[in-house]
Chains A and B, each alone.
Chain A
Amino acid sequence: MNLWLLLAVNSIAFGGLLFLLSAGFSLIFGLMRIPNLTHGSFFMLGAYLGVSFLAMGLNLWLAALASAAAMALIGGGIERLLLRRLGGQELAQVLVTLGLSFMIADLCLMQWGGDPIPIDTPPHLRGALPIFSIVFPTYRLVIVIIAVVIAAALWLMLERTRLGAMIRAGVDDAPMARVTGIRVSRLFTIVFCLGAALAGFAGVIGGPILSVYPGLDADMLPLALIVVILGGTGSLLGALLGSLIIGFLYNFGQALFPELAYIILFLPMLLILLVRPQGLFGRHAP
């Protein structure tokens, strides 16, 4: 198969994974006004938990769901026990998430060791599918489909449910939302749990592509950061588009300019921060 086409497919699949990671990050940033520096750790911890669930005999999808549930619990615990004490002090909250990311990284190292752990692609999804005379790797297609489904579900939740309306109100203007009676603190917890769950889920289903290794958190967090800055905080559409753009930049950058790969990634983020701090679709500047 043509190298460029393969790169493109991988980019879209990677973009899908990034979307699952960044959607939560974007909502957390939009609502709580903090970049959650623990988000990469949630991805990695979810992936490691998935490894353990797989070892217990669960299949990949159940492991992913179990991880998501576990991460939701952990995320909720962090928000209620630690972040809530620092309500309103955004800088302090960011520093706490930074400290937590170090703790989680070491705990994972202690529990699962320093060697990269591969996750097997589910047996029926190995191989490739021919579509319009082009052969696509099946698993990557599946990831794209899952990402699209979850994106649609998130969109429905935000646009059509009461919870979603409250979240949108909070993203727009949290103090004002509070004044109108919306329990913003509860929203914080819900959104944080949701973000952690999505990140953990993504970590597991991304396993067959990325595998799980120490440092996965440090690899994924900057990408989520870039996606959300580019796409705008609190914007689902922004996260989707940003993920696609970064997915492409990442894969093509690595392939074409490995020495400058990092710059290719971070430069757009820097430019956006300087020129249009609220991102492509965001409401507020950070």
Chain B
Amino acid sequence: MSALELRNLVKSFGGLRVTADVNLDVAPGERRLIIGPNGAGKTTLFNLIAGELRPDGGSIRLFGEDITRLPCRSRPHRGLARTYQIITLFPRETLLRNVILSLLGLSPLRWNPVLLLRRQKALFAEARAALERVGLDRIAERPLAETSYGERRRVEIAMALAQQPRLLLLDEPFAGLSIDERKDVQRLLLAIPREVTVVMIEHDMDVALDLADRITLMHFGEIIIEGTRAEVVAHPRTREVYLGE
């Protein structure tokens, strides 16, 4: 059974076909890298998988379960987590509170209007552990607005991992980071246990290639090539797509 299975996925905006009959299989525990020039439809694909967009046709299966019609808010409860190209967290809150919001998202506690959130020791401990995993527990009480972009990216990854997802979608996790910050994030991603299947969109080949088991190349909403790292890198069409026909 695939961790993620896409069959004949189609999406159009007006007359423009942004996702054109996409078929994809990601094995459990796999690290899949999706590459392609700008406008290839990669983020749209993520939005379809996450449920922010409704496909015009086709199906999406998560570990065998058909989630095509499942609303976006229910997918995290089935084990799907994602990060965004542009980091959109909660700047007024501390790092700890940001992670707490992530943990609450899956907890029935989020509906409770009478408990004092501050007193939920177990929750705070879990949040601290999540921040520790990304090396940010020293500044757990700092407001997010006072952290660097690289630190925020790590918080975002901590938040995604805190939900213990089965499938993690990373949309350009290295975008906007300095060289050192990229190394930090790369180390983080390599350390993710194989219980989590990872699908990543990235432009920066240097850092991304090391993380990938298999690579999918997209262009104009279609999958052009798919294969192991070596296969795709060596393939003549890869150069064509990136350097123009």
Task: Note whether A and B contact each other (Cβ less than 8 A).
Answer: no
